[in-house]
Structure 1
Amino acid sequence: MKYIIVGTGNISRTYLKALEALPASDAVGYVSRSNAAGATVGALPCWPSLAQVDRPYDAVIVTTPNALHHQSAIEAARLGKHVLVEKPLDITQAAMDDMINEAARHRVVLAVSYQRRTNPDNLAVKRLLEQQAFGRIYSADLSCRFWRDQAYYDSAAYRGSYAIDGGGVFIQQASHNIDNYIWFFGMPERVRAELDTFAHQMEAEDHGAVVLRHADGMIGTIVASTCAPPGYPPRLEVSCEKGTFTLTNDRISHWHVAGIENPAARAEPAPDDGASNPAVTDTSRHEAVLADFERAVAERGQPLAEGSDARRATDLILRIYRCRA
């Protein structure tokens, strides 16, 4: 497949590197409103809008700031192009509705890069949960204790803002982990949260704690922070009818479950966790997302994180943010 990458920030280079590792796929060029027609980014051409791209391509990868995702996704869908969006899908329910509806109307695939879903141990746990192999789940405690210095928030005016980022640590750094939580356990019935800004000059929260109650009685907790130096790998601890298990950075680090062999896969090193640095040096999970996206396009099927499913992370985060009132 041939791609146009919308946006020229750091994450766009991650996708470019991931595409270079896929022999049958490549980037045709970029779209950036800040560049004039005929400009280049590196060795690739750059256009001010998708409508002005004059080379054939199959799909777009949207890497613009969070609140702008819907603009490019809707434009691409109307052009009949498939869409892969960097997380989150968007920051408002109205924008996400429009994206999903336009993709369906024009029969294009809409997927979100929640690449933690591709990790083998996460997939193994997901299968066991679908089989109800653990019995009743009692509790799930998610810890996302990350670190970002003030320079990170000062690097762009929109960082940590409600209007563009959509909020702070929950919608930005912890969004991947919250997506995994919902993918595993579904949406809670009740949400209670305490949020604040402690260590940074920014509009939104840099720390918060959430208690979630699910329809089956399970109690979940989420702690998310960017003021926990030096930054720690995300950790999910689960207690269930048959025992306990822990995922640390998406790898099974503890397993004490009666009657079920530990399904941990150890054939490859653990990928970056982003705990202390937003830069992505290992593109293997993005490569997996792209391969899954292309499979969905070829089979006219659903990607691993299709739009209406992936939106649930934003839906839950918006419920958490409403607790601020």
Structure 2
Amino acid sequence: MRYVVVGTGNISNTYINALTERPGSELVGAVSRSGRPLSAAPELPVWPSIDAVDADFDAVILATPNGLHHQGAIDAAARGKHVLTEKPLDISIEAMDRMTDACNRAGVVLAVCYQRRTRPDNQAIKALMAQSAFGRIYAVDLAAKFYRDQAYYDSGDYRGGLALDGGGPFMQQACHNLDIYTWLFGLPGQVVSMLGTFAHDIEAEDHGAALMRHEDGMIGTVVASTAARPGFAARMEVHAERGSFTLTDDVVTQWVVDGVDNPSAPGDHYQHDGATSAAVTDTTAHQAIIEDFEAAVRDGREPLAGATSARLTTELILSIYQNAV
């Protein structure tokens, strides 16, 4: 497939590098409101809007700030182009509804780059849950305690704001981890949370905690932070009828489950944990999500992280924000 990337900031380089590793996938240019060229591919043309693109292309990759994802999807759908957006789907229910409706009407695929769903151990846990291998799940405790310095937030006017970022670490840095939570366990019925801004001069929170109860009684907890210096590996601990296990940065690191062998994939050394930096040097997971996206287009099926399931993550985050005390 041939792509146009919308947005020429740092995250666009991740997609350029991922596409470079995929035979048959090609980046033909970029869209930038400022006209800034792609730093990783300055030779490629840059257009001011999706409507202005005059090259042949099949899909867009939206690498714009969170709150602009819906507009890029709507503009791409108007041209009959498929859409792969950087996480999250968007930052409001209305925006997610608008972009989903536009893509459905145009008959184009809409997917989100929640690439952690492609990791082997996450996939194995998902399959075991479909088999009810753990029995009743009692509790899930998620800790996404990351660190960003003030310079990170100062690097973009929108960072740490509500209008475009949509919030602090819950909506931005920890949404990948929360996506695995909703992908595995769904949405809770009750949420109560506490949020604070401690270490940064930003509009949104930089640390918070939420307590959740699901309809089956499961109790979930989540802590999300960019104030936890120096930054720690993300951990998800699951306690169930048949035992417990821990995922650390998407790899099973503890496993005590009666009658079920540890499914951890040997030699999985994916290198992006997000604890201290937003930089992505290992693009294998992005390559996997692009491969799945192209297969969904080819086969006429729902992508691994399609809009229907990916929106649950934003819905959970909004619930955490709305139920803060």
- TM-score bracket for the superposition, by shorter chain length: over 0.9
CA distance in 1, matches of 2:203, 2:164: 11
**Deviation string for 1:68-117 (max 9, x for gaps)?**
11111101011100000000011110010011111110110000000000
Please tell me whether the aligned partners of residues 160 and 202 of structure 1 are also in contact (alpha carbons under 8 angstroms): yes
Question: Structure 1-normalised TM-score?
Answer: 0.98
Q: What amino acid is aligned across from residue 297 of structure 2 in structure 1?
A: V
Q: What amino acid is aligned across from residue 168 of structure 1 in structure 2?
A: G
Q: What amino acid is aligned across from residue 201 of structure 2 in structure 1?
A: Q
- State the match for 1:225 in structure 2: 225
CA distance in 2, matches of 1:70, 1:187: 22
Please tell me whether the aligned partners of residues 36 and 48 of structure 1 are also in contact (alpha carbons under 8 angstroms): no
Q: Which residues in structure 2 correspond to 1:36-51 (within 5 Å)?
A: 42-51=42-51
Please tell me whether the aligned partners of residues 270 and 282 of structure 2 are also in contact (alpha carbons under 8 angstroms): no
Q: What amino acid is aligned across from residue 303 of structure 1 in structure 2?
A: P
- State the match for 2:137 in structure 1: 137
Q: Which residues in structure 2 correspond to 1:79-98 (within 5 Å)?
A: 79-98=79-98
Q: What amino acid is aligned across from residue 114 of structure 1 in structure 2?
A: Y
What is the deviation of 1:233? 1.1
- State the match for 2:65 in structure 1: 65
| Shift in alpha-carbon separation, 1:36–1:225, aligned structure 2, 3 A | closer
CA distance in 2, matches of 1:272, 1:112: 18
| 4+ residue segments displaced more than 2 Å | none
CA distance in 2, matches of 1:240, 1:268: 25
CA distance in 1, matches of 2:66, 2:311: 13
Q: What amino acid is aligned across from residue 112 of structure 2 in structure 1?
A: V
Please tell me whether the aligned partners of residues 14 and 283 of structure 1 are also in contact (alpha carbons under 8 angstroms): yes
CA distance in 2, matches of 1:232, 1:154: 22
CA distance in 2, matches of 1:288, 1:14: 13
CA distance in 1, matches of 2:269, 2:196: 35
- State the match for 2:190 in structure 1: 190
Q: What amino acid is aligned across from residue 155 of structure 1 in structure 2?
A: S
- State the match for 1:27 in structure 2: 27
Please tell me whether the aligned partners of residues 144 and 225 of structure 1 are also in contact (alpha carbons under 8 angstroms): yes
Q: What amino acid is aligned across from residue 314 of structure 1 in structure 2?
A: T
Please tell me whether the aligned partners of residues 251 and 270 of structure 1 are also in contact (alpha carbons under 8 angstroms): no
Asked if 1:279 is matched to 2:279, the reply is yes
- State the match for 1:248 in structure 2: 248
| Shift in alpha-carbon separation, 1:175–1:258, aligned structure 2, 3 A | same
- State the match for 1:126 in structure 2: 126
Q: What amino acid is aligned across from residue 192 of structure 2 in structure 1?
A: R
CA distance in 1, matches of 2:276, 2:80: 39
- State the match for 1:308 in structure 2: 308
Identity across the alignment (%): 57
What is the deviation of 1:36? 8.5
Q: Give the secondary-structure state (helix, strand or coil) at the position aligned to 1:44.
A: coil
Number of aligned pairs? 323
CA distance in 2, matches of 1:51, 1:41: 21
Show structure 1 runs of 5+ residues with no match: none
- State the match for 1:55 in structure 2: 55
What is the deviation of 1:201? 0.5
CA distance in 2, matches of 1:279, 1:313: 22
CA distance in 2, matches of 1:265, 1:75: 40
**Deviation string for 1:113-167 (max 9, x for gaps)?**
0000000000000011111110000000000000000000111111000111000
Q: Which residues in structure 2 correspond to 1:100-179 (within 5 Å)?
A: 100-179=100-179
What is the deviation of 1:274? 1.0
Q: Give the secondary-structure state (helix, strand or coil) at the position aligned to 1:179.
A: helix
Q: Give the secondary-structure state (helix, strand or coil) at the position aligned to 2:287.
A: helix
CA distance in 1, matches of 2:174, 2:59: 27
Show structure 2 runs of 5+ residues with no match: none
Q: Give the secondary-structure state (helix, strand or coil) at the position aligned to 1:166.
A: coil
- State the match for 1:205 in structure 2: 205
Q: What amino acid is aligned across from residue 192 of structure 1 in structure 2?
A: V
Please tell me whether the aligned partners of residues 30 and 41 of structure 1 are also in contact (alpha carbons under 8 angstroms): no
CA distance in 2, matches of 1:100, 1:114: 17
Q: Give the secondary-structure state (helix, strand or coil) at the position aligned to 1:195.
A: strand
Q: Give the secondary-structure state (helix, strand or coil) at the position aligned to 2:45.
A: strand
Q: What amino acid is aligned across from residue 207 of structure 1 in structure 2?
A: H
CA distance in 2, matches of 1:60, 1:270: 26
- State the match for 1:269 in structure 2: 269
What is the deviation of 1:229? 1.3
**Deviation string for 1:226-245 (max 9, x for gaps)?**
01111111100000000000
